[in-house]
Structure 1
Amino acid sequence: MQHPHVTLTIAEGIAWVELSRPEKYNALNYALFDSIVKVQKVIAGRRDVRAVILSGSGGNFCSGLDVASVMKSPMQAFKLLFKWLPGNANLAQRVSIGWRRLPVPVICVLEGICYGGGTQIALGADMRIAAPDCRLSIMEAKWGLVPDMAGLVGLRELVGKDVAMQLTMTAEVIDAEQAKDYGLVTQVSEAPREAAEALALRLAKTSPDANAAIKFSINKSWRAGERSLLARESLSQVRLLLGKNRVIAALRQTKDPERRYRPRQPWWR
């Protein structure tokens, strides 16, 4: 399925999403912002999707905002930043936080350049696998700006406050191994796409309902109070116990390892 500058392919339960503006190092223009959010909506409506692999074309992930393109149209800039309420996500923020809101695990493949808005998008994924040549930077301070694409939601969960401030205030460029040491990257691989596919296939062997519940619980409870965490765990467990995929998971462990899971239950959003 083709959207402007984004390719979506769904096969055997895995959604492959590729940013496709290689002549601009996959820089973010308005059409690319819009397409990412539309692709997220398509995936959210597909209960047969078990995992998402997000990557960039042409050997790079994303070089950040295409400032010249966006600023050509004041209306486009307005549409990117507009929101009805301050606490809502605008279009620029949904390209990052939208991956967190999907009820399936999202794996991001990082190659080449991953700067500014590209890093913000990657921070919205659940796991990040980087090639050794990848270079990352939270680059907004270089232009006198604050990161405003919701990547800080993920950043605060991955690194200490001092490291977050250092990376954000200095806009320094770090390599993949440094990113892994900081906790920004899950693993470094010479073949990140293959590693991402192998991980996605492993995730597809477990219950889609359980994976959705785990992602929901971890994201909601990571910084929540203890009582909220306990309540959320109990509610998720009741839903899982009442679902057919929990029975299938048990059968796969005992009698029928090839038994196919049913599509994810619709309440996991």
Structure 2
Amino acid sequence: MMETISLEIVENIADIRLNRPKKRNAINLELMLSLITAAKQLKANKQLRAIVLSGNGEAFCAGMDFGIFTDMLSGKITADSTGFEDLSEQGANKGQQMGWLWQEIPVPVIAAVHGAALGAGLNIALGADIRIVTPDAKLGLLEITWGFLPDTSATQSLQRLANLDRIKELIFTGRLFSGQEAYEYGLATELADSPHERALEMATTIAGQNPDAIRRAKDMLNKLSFLSVEEGLALEAEHCRSLLGSPNQLEAAAARFEKRAPRFSDPQYLS
């Protein structure tokens, strides 16, 4: 894989790690593009069951590499030269894709956060479905301290996770907060002293479920906030109707009755 990230897939679980440990995994252009490429590859993987996203070294991700800012100030790189403004089908630029593509992947993405998760680094973690964080992790939406505001899809992720007044306070002040606080605010799903180990454990549990049901569940839950009650109930009924009596659903039921591990085939639902 690219030098700025590492990617290993074992038993249909992808273990992807930011890999600039000497820079606390700060995001340069190469890392940004590598994450986007990897996310698109994982999105197309029909055998995949779950993803664990973490960082090598002492931090998850310390945010943007200062080198990007100096290169922008000097004119060495521009939005045009990097293709930064090349939009996805959803209208996301490259920075936004880096944070949002994890939501578009049809299987659960679990972020394992330790050390620092700052600015764009935190925004990447917010794009995951689940975040497991050390209690003493240092997190922050620091963009305001640079005269900017959260980008890389953070505004879309935050509104689904925490109360609006708390989101405003964290954005307006740019203050640091701990993993424990993140858990209290709803920005962390679970606290763990060894988040990567716990994330792999959770991914293994998820990978043992009906892959069609998991994919349909993520699709449904991601859409619910945009639907009326009537539309949401219709979507739920549609997914349940499609699952009932399907090969993997029948295998799940048989395994339960026979008290054995299920033997699922690759999912038919690939959305």
TM-score category of the 2 structures, normalised to the smaller one: over 0.9
Letter of the structure 1 residue corresponding to residue 44 of structure 2:
G
Taking structure 1 as the reference length, what is the TM-score of the superposition?
0.93
The answer to whether the 8 A contact 2:46-2:270 is kept is no
The answer to whether the 8 A contact 1:207-1:249 is kept is yes
5 Å matches for 1:139-158?
139-158=142-161
Pick from 81, 91, 95 the counterpart of residue 92 of structure 1. Answer: 95
Q: 2-side partners of 1:102 and 1:87: how far apart? A: 14
Deviations 1:40-79 (A, max 9, x none): 1221222211110000010200111114236523246753
Deviations 1:144-178 (A, max 9, x none): 11111112222111111100100111111001111
The match for 2:257 is 254
Are residue 38 (structure 1) and residue 37 (structure 2) matched? yes
The answer to whether the 8 A contact 1:96-1:121 is kept is yes
Pick from 172, 175, 178 the counterpart of residue 175 of structure 2. Answer: 172
What is the total number of aligned residue pairs between the two structures? Answer: 267
1:27 to 1:183, Cα distance in 2 relative to 1, 3 A: same
Q: 2-side partners of 1:77 and 1:25: how far apart? A: 27
The match for 2:62 is 63
Taking structure 2 as the reference length, what is the TM-score of the superposition?
0.93
Q: 2-side partners of 1:94 and 1:230: how far apart? A: 30
Letter of the structure 2 residue corresponding to residue 42 of structure 1:
Q
Q: 1-side partners of 2:87 and 2:105: how far apart? A: 22
The match for 1:244 is 247
Q: 2-side partners of 1:61 and 1:46: how far apart? A: 25
Pick from 134, 138, 143 the counterpart of residue 135 of structure 1. Answer: 138
Unaligned runs of 5+ in 2: none
Identity score, percent: 31
Q: 2-side partners of 1:24 and 1:77: how far apart? A: 26
1:108 to 1:84, Cα distance in 2 relative to 1, 3 A: closer
The answer to whether the 8 A contact 1:70-1:77 is kept is no
1:103 to 1:241, Cα distance in 2 relative to 1, 3 A: same
